[in-house]
């Protein structure tokens, strides 16, 4: 599939390894759209796809002791549940809407669940010895909602909304910070916002659901979770080089 082709292209272009892998893919649909994989499109594009690409390229990151960055959102905190840890994902990310009034399709809920999955994946990688973090760019004026409000264009145009949003350049600052900050200052498993690791920014449900989220994505994508016998020692404090994928 497309994930395999992209991963093979990256491996060919960067055979010695990846210092940084940034997962920026994301979307928000205006209605319940099912992909050819049988998944709701927001979940498939924003969580399952990045999961599959990351796990496929993880050896490239591991061999140079690189880091993985996931773009998330404060909306991931909306996902709350009283379910047992192993049932959290089945009742949130893995839930298929049936048309019941109480659980009708809602674009914000699907987006929140996808970002919850990204944040879980970042924490799970950290638990496996890979440097990783989740970064929230804040409310940014991007193409994310082009499928939600097609008649308004690809970006927000309403002045009442626009003034509250960051430019793409402003939103990228925290992502760039997480990419280039020195190893001794990088908070693996953390949640970054405004170029700082926020101790209370991450949902408390992430730590208990991280492994379950990856196991669910592994089943759906048919890309297994990658494990390593030991972690490669840190390269030092000079900070990573950021590769550009063309």
Give the DSSP letter string of 127-174.
Answer: HTT-EEEEEE--SB-SSTTTTT-GGG-SS---HHHHTTSBPHHHHTHH
Dihedral of the CA atoms 229, 234, 235, 237 (nearest 10)? Answer: 160
Residues whose CB is less than 8 angstroms from the CB of residue 24 and which lie 6 or more positions away in sequence, other chains included:
71, 175
Six-digit token pair at 158? 């309403």
Report DSSP state, residue 241. Answer: P
What digits encode the pLDDT tens for the residues 170-179?
Answer: 888 999 999 9
* Strands annotated E in 84-126: none
b/e for 46-70, b at 16 or more Cβ within 10 A?
bbbbbbbbbbbbbebbbebbbbbbb
Answer whether residue 87 shows pLDDT above 80: no
Q: Locate the DSSP E strands across the chain.
A: 20-23, 67-71, 131-136, 191-193, 196-197
**Whether residue 2 has pLDDT greater than 80:** yes
Q: How many Cα atoms within 13 Å fall on the side-chain side of residue 210? A: 20
* Contact (Cβ atoms closer than 8 angstroms) between residue 59 and residue 226: yes
Report the DSSP pairing between strands 191-193 and 196-197.
antiparallel
Query: The whole model's pTM is what?
Result: 0.80
pLDDT digits (tens, 9 = 90+) for 117-161: 999 999 999 999 999 999 998 877 766 655 555 555 545 555 555
């Amino acid at each position: 599939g497309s994930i395999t082709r992209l991963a093979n292209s990256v491996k060919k272009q960067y055979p010695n390894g990846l210092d940084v892998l940034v997962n920026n893919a994301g979307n928000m649909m205006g209605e319940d759209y099912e992909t050819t994989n049988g998944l709701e499109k927001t979940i498939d594009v924003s969580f399952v796809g990045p999961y599959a690409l990351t796990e496929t390229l993880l050896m490239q990151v591991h061999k140079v002791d690189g880091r993985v960055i996931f773009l998330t959102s404060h909306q991931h905190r909306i996902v709350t549940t009283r379910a047992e840890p192993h049932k959290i994902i089945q009742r949130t990310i893995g839930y298929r809407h049936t048309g019941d009034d109480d659980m009708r399709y809602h674009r914000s809920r699907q987006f929140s669940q996808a970002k919850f999955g990204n944040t879980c994946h970042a924490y799970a990688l950290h638990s496996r010895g890979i440097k990783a973090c989740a970064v929230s760019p804040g409310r940014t004026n991007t193409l994310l909602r082009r499928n939600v409000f097609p008649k308004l264009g690809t970006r927000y145009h309403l002045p009442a909304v626009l003034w509250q949003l960051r430019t793409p350049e402003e939103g990228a600052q925290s992502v760039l910070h997480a990419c280039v900050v020195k190893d001794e200052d990088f908070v693996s498993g953390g949640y970054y916002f405004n170029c700082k690791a926020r101790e209370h920014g991450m949902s408390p449900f992430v730590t208990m659901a991280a492994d379950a989220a990856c196991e669910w994505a592994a089943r759906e994508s048919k890309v297994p979770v990658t494990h390593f016998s030991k972690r490669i020692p840190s390269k030092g404090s000079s900070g990573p080089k950021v590769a550009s994928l063309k």
